Each structure stands twice: as C-alpha cells, then as structure tokens.
A and B are shown apart, each in its own frame.
With several copies, the nearest count.
Chain A
Amino acid sequence: MKFILDAEQRLFGETLDKILTEADTPSVIRGWAAGVHEPGLALWRSLAETGVLALAVPESAGGAGPLPVELVTAFHELGRHAVPGPYAETVAVATLLDRLGDELERGSEWLEGIAEGRVVASLALPTLPALPAPAQASAPYALDADAADLVLLVDGDALRAAAAGEVRASLDPARRLPSVVAGDVLAAGPSVAAAARVACDMGVLATAAQLVGVGRRLLEVSVDYAKARQQFGRPIGEFQAVKHHLADALVGLEYARPLVHGAAVSYGSPDFGRDVSAAKVAASEAAYAAAKIALQVHGAIGYTDEYDPSLWIRKARALHSAWGSPAAHRARVISSLAGA
C-alpha cells in the first residue's frame, strides 16, 4: 500500500498545477460567477485532456478509473487553484452511472462523454445517502446545473433526470446553486440507493481533497504576504502571533492530507465510507481554520472582493458545509465505529 504519492502521481499533480497556474483561474472564477461560463468550460476541456475527468469513469466506458488516489491528487490541485465548476458532482455522477451499468439506457454514452470532457454533469442530493439518518440533511440544489449538460436528481431510491431552476447565490461567488426541476425517472429501486451511497462518498472524498488544496493555497499566500507586508517597521511574519497562527494552519492541513490519502487508499474496503467521512471532517476544519487565519494575517485586504485570496477564503467556508457538515460526518464516523 502506498501512503505517499509515487513519481508518476506526483508528476500528474505538477502537470495540473502548471496548467492551472497558466489558466489564471481568478479571472475564470470571476467570469463564472457572472454567468460567463465559456472560459471555465474551456478549462474543463483542457483538464479532461490530461485525464482528470476520466478518473472516476471505468475503462470499459472509455475512462481510466476508478483511480481514487489520482482523483484526490487532481482535486487537491483543483482546490489549490479554486477552479470553478461541478467537478465533484461530475465525479459523483460518473460513479453513479458506473454502478448502475446497464440499468440506464444512456449510461455508457454519458460516461464516455464525461471521460472525454464533453459532458459536464451535476447532481442534486436532497439527502446525503451515505450518512446516517439525522445527519443526511443536504441541499436541494445542483451546483452549476445551469452550465451542465446532464443534471440528475436522486429522489429516495429513484434516479431522475432534472433541469436547472432558479439560481441562488452562495457566499462563494464561483458556486452557483440552481434549484432543480425533477424530470423523468431513469431508474429506481435498491440498486439506485446503493449506487447513490458510493457516489455520495466519492463526491465527499473529492470535496475533502479540494478543501485541503484550498487551505494549502491560503497558507501559501498568507506566508508570502507575511514575509512582504511591513508593519511597525518590520515584516509581520516576524511577529510571534503571526508565526503561531500560520504554524497552526500548517498543523491542521498536514494531518488532514493523510486522512484524505488514506481514504482514497481504502476505496473498495468496508472502511471506505468511515475514512471518507473522517477525511471530510478534518479537511473542512483545517481549510476553514486556514481561511480564518489567512483573513487575520491579511487584514482588511483579505476581506476584499477584488483581492484574489478572498476567493479561496469564501470557498473554504462554502465547502465546509457542502457535501455534509463536519458534524454530519462525525456522526457517520461514530456510527461506523459503533456498528463495527
């Protein structure tokens, strides 16, 4: 078992980092937030060329997956660069379609489209099927469904086609949250419920990886800022209070990362769900803590819409509760352990 990335996986991450650095994601985000989707969709297609969208699609449908370790490597970079778009949702949809297999008439067609980057998918999960009962509360929205080619809705044990309704604004301007209008039932029964549970876990895992990347970037920019910004005649990074804030952010992130990696490694084992939830708890808390520290270290400028780090600060808070809050995932961890 590999508890660190191998050379090829590291190279994959570095390649994505390079593409995303060149893509100038802040301007893509600001466009996406205003409903100008094309630059974001172009980036989607570039990422598809590197294979990002094929990671949750099985080889039988033209994909390369499931490759959970590569998936969290990619999502870490998506988070570091705050890439807008329904990436985690598309991964969940791919997992769902894969699990349902021939039950869905157009399943393999969609899967191929996802792998090739032609089909942007989104998903509404009014309850999170992987979580125990009182923690399942979720949102009746499908992220960026107004930019998606395929929108699905899991409604109890029925899978339905869906369409984007009215868009609600999120604290994170890159997260557009349309409600969904339910359409035809595409499949129903226990197989849908079972597939939705795994799909949900994959969405959670992708989001946890993304959160660690978001937090990591916030730490990077805060360290840079603390070295450069002068107050009282010296860089603020000389002050112990600033040092200790930033050290705390690092400690949180350094321990969230192995939980995310470990969850990816346990894909397919009975512990996968428990480990995914543990990863989401730690990643949410670490990224949100990093965001608050980034805000405190930057001061007023971090509180400013036009200054790029605020894009990451807002995303950390929004993803903190997306795909299940830390409390919801703690409930899942405990119920898994108690049931074991």
Chain B
Amino acid sequence: MDLDLSSVEPFRAEVREWLRTHVPAAPLPSLEIEEGFAAHRAWERELYGARLSVVSWPEEYGGRAATPLEWLVFEEEYYAAGAPGRVSQNGINLLAPTLFQHGTPEQLARVLPSMASGEVIWAQAWSEPGAGSDLASLRATATRVDGGWLLNGQKTWSSRAAFADWGFGPFRSDPEAQRHRGLTYLMFPLDAEGITRRPIGRIDGKPAFAELFFDDVFVPDRDVIGEPGAGWKVAMSTTGNERGLTLRSPGRFLAAADRLLDLWRERADPGDTALRDRVADAWIKARAYQLKGYETVSRTDDIGAESSINKIFWSELDVALHETALDLLGPDGELEGDWLEGYVFSLAGPIYAGTNEIQRNVIAERVLGLPRAGR
C-alpha cells in the first residue's frame, strides 16, 4: 500500500495545534500514584472532548475512524508535544481490540464510550502467583451459577489496578480441562463484593500494580467476552495486539530520543564520543521503529508472530535510551526525576507482555521455523 503522508498533514496540523494549546505546562504527577491517577483521568476526558482519546475507533464510540497511518501520526504528535502518559492504555490497547473482535454489540456500546472518556479505567488481570509467562497454568476459577459466574482465587501484577475501576482477564471455568482449554474471559468491577485489592509498589515504590483476591465474586453472563471456555483464543487476540505497535507507538520513542538529544546538548562534552554514539544509536533505533511502523501499516497481511520482533526491539531500545540518559546525568542519575521515572518504567519492558526470552522462542520457532524442543 502506498502511504500518502501529505494527505494526513491537515490531521497532523489539527492535532499539533490542539496539543499546543492544551498540554499542561507542568508535567502531571506520576500516574502511578493516587493524585496523578486522578489528574490523568481528567486529562483523558479532555482528550475525549476533542475526540482525540481513541482516534482509530469508529465515530459511534468516540473515535474518528482514523487510518493506521493517522494513528501513527497522532502518536508522533502526541509524544512530541510532551503530552501526559495514557492512564487508559490498558483498556484502549488491550481490552478494546478484544471487544472489537469478540464482544457483543451490547458490550461494545456499554463499555467503549466510558473507556474513551476516562470515566471507567481498566486494569488487566492476567498473571497469577504461579503463572507469569505461562498463561496456560492459570488457576483462578469461574464457576457456573444461575445467570453468571462466581470468581475465586487470586490475580497479581495487575497494572493500574490500585486505582482503576474495572478489570478483565481469563479464569479457569472447567477445572477438568488442561492448560489451554476451559478458560473463560470476563470483565468485572474492581469494587465488586468479594474482591479485595492490595496495591503492590513497583521498584520505585509507586503502587503501579495490585494483587486481587476473589471470594465468590458474581459476574453476570453479559460480562463474559466471547464463548465461555474459549478464553485462551480470546486472550491470544489481545496478546497479538499487545506485542505489535499499539502498546508502544513509535512516536513515544522518537520523542524520547529527541529529549535525549536535548539532554546531550545541555549536559555532554561534545567530544565525548562514547556518549555521542549511544545518543546516536537511540535516535537511529527510534527512527528505525518509526519506519518499521510505516512499513507495518502499509502491509495488508497479518504480521502474526513478527510482533515478537517489535516487542524485543522497543523494549531493549527503551532500556538503552534511558540508561544513556542516566549516564548523561552522571552522579545525578540516581535522583528522582523524569528520566529516572522513565528508566524505571523501561525496566518492565523486557519482562511484561511475555518476557523477551519467550519472545525469542516465538521468533525462532514461528518466524524462523526452528524445531520446538522436546519436553
């Protein structure tokens, strides 16, 4: 497909102008703390008011039916403007694509507009204490009862769940079934009776996750996504998305590389080629990721397991870019501040959404065709 970059210039200009006049002058407090969560929720509402919170969605749910190219452009402008992080991203990037694929019309109409406006903020509830990268070993259960399901068990590392409104994830609905079978994908309010949430501090202490304990939590049938028992298939449609471009858009890294370049100009001895080379590499890789994004949205075929290539690339780029920033800051690198916050955030990249070790297995086996190891 031929990408007509000039045709999206009016859209780019509109977005840029709106951001110029609306992005808060001072950074909001971290979205991983209560005060910052509220401020970011308000910002989501402001974006929604300009129909900029979910540009690629259909208009009926608050979007603009933007093309993938327009979405890339939106993201470039968004991060270049230094706009706040997206507290709604788990819903928008992980739940919404699942609903578009497996949801009922009623679910779409009920869930999406309040997600777009920031009224309801969603937390992903996948991992369990015994099941990190190995989702097939999930043990939290959904038991059939009249008109719905009763949830029991425990989820952990639920991002945003300390302050979010609703959660979603797979539960084992057929205790007899093994591994990939007998899972059901459900949505539930985090303040439902029977749910206890315990915030967990990430490595800088901010409560970026929570543990969720379920004790006979009733979920009505209307909150099941897809067929009961087909939760693995439903979950995998999210995974594909998570590992593609949407979780980390190129615009994010381009903007970070530009800020790194500014930091280098301010702080570095221009003759320090060791740091210069690392700054150059960060910029080159961000540019490569941008071009790969343009390539991806030009393709009409399914990228499938190739999304694992993206996940490794952006997560390692993100760590390297922030390490370079800390090294540029020298003895100040250990001090609290925006770069340290970005560094801490980057450290999660190689771990979550399938560790990079799992991604390398996927690439080797499903892209390169190497044999699976015998058990």
**A residues engaging B (CB < 8 A)?**
1-4, 6, 134, 137-139, 141, 168-173, 175, 177, 219, 223, 226-227, 230-235, 237-244, 246-248, 250-251, 254-256, 258-259, 261-262, 275, 278, 281-282, 295-296, 299-300, 302-306, 310, 313-314, 317-318, 321-322, 325, 327, 330-331, 333-334, 337-338
Contact = CB atoms under 8 A, between A and B. Distances in A.
A305 B204 contact: yes
23 contacts: A3-B3, A4-B1, A4-B295, A138-B331, A168-B336, A223-B368, A227-B370, A231-B134, A238-B371, A240-B373, A242-B370, A259-B287, A259-B291, A275-B287, A282-B284, A295-B347, A304-B209, A310-B203, A313-B203, A317-B326, A321-B333, A330-B277, A338-B261
Given A239-B357, A243-B365, A334-B279, 19 more contacts: A137-B331, A170-B334, A170-B336, A226-B370, A231-B133, A247-B359, A248-B360, A254-B306, A254-B313, A255-B288, A258-B291, A259-B288, A262-B294, A295-B347, A295-B351, A305-B200, A321-B330, A330-B281, A337-B283
B369 interface: yes
Contacts of A255: 285, 288-289, 292, 313
B289 A338 contact: no
Interface of B: 1-5, 127, 130-134, 137, 156-157, 200-205, 209, 261, 265, 269, 272-277, 279-281, 283-285, 287-289, 291-292, 294-295, 298-299, 306, 309, 312-313, 326-327, 330-336, 340, 343-344, 347-348, 350-352, 355-357, 359-361, 363-365, 367-375
5 closest A-B pairs by CB: A305-B201, A243-B364, A139-B331, A258-B291, A330-B280
Given A231-B134, A305-B205, A241 B330 contact: no
Contact of B374 (A234, A240, A327): A234
Contacts of A338: 261, 265
B309 A254 contact: yes
Given A231-B134, A321-B331, A281 B367 contact: no
Contact of A321 (B157, B327, B344, B357): B327
Given A3-B295, A240-B373, A303-B347, A251 B276 contact: no
Contact of B370 (A139, A232, A246, A304): A246
A232 B336 CA distance: 38
Given A233-B375, A237-B371, A303-B202, A327 B277 contact: yes
A318 B156 CA distance: 28
A296 B332 CA distance: 25
A273 B107 CA distance: 51
A250 to B, nearest CB: 6
B336 A137 contact: no
A323 to B, nearest CB: 9
Contacts of B351: 295-296, 299-300, 302-303
B275 to A, nearest CB: 8
B280 A334 contact: yes
A247 B327 contact: no
A172 B157 CA distance: 22
A255 B361 CA distance: 19
A244 B364 contact: yes
B299 A139 contact: no
Given A321-B333, A338-B265, A304 B200 contact: yes
B370 A175 contact: no
A238 B132 contact: no
A281 B276 contact: no
Contacts of B285: 255, 282
A327 B340 CA distance: 19
B3 A2 contact: yes
A3 B359 CA distance: 25
B284 A337 contact: no
A318 B295 contact: no
Contacts of B291: 3, 258-259, 261-262
B364 to A, nearest CB: 3
B338 to A, nearest CB: 13
B330 A325 contact: yes
Contacts of A137: 330-331
A258 B292 contact: yes
Nearest to B373: A238
Contact of A325 (B294, B298, B327): B327
A285 to B, nearest CB: 9
A304 B373 contact: no
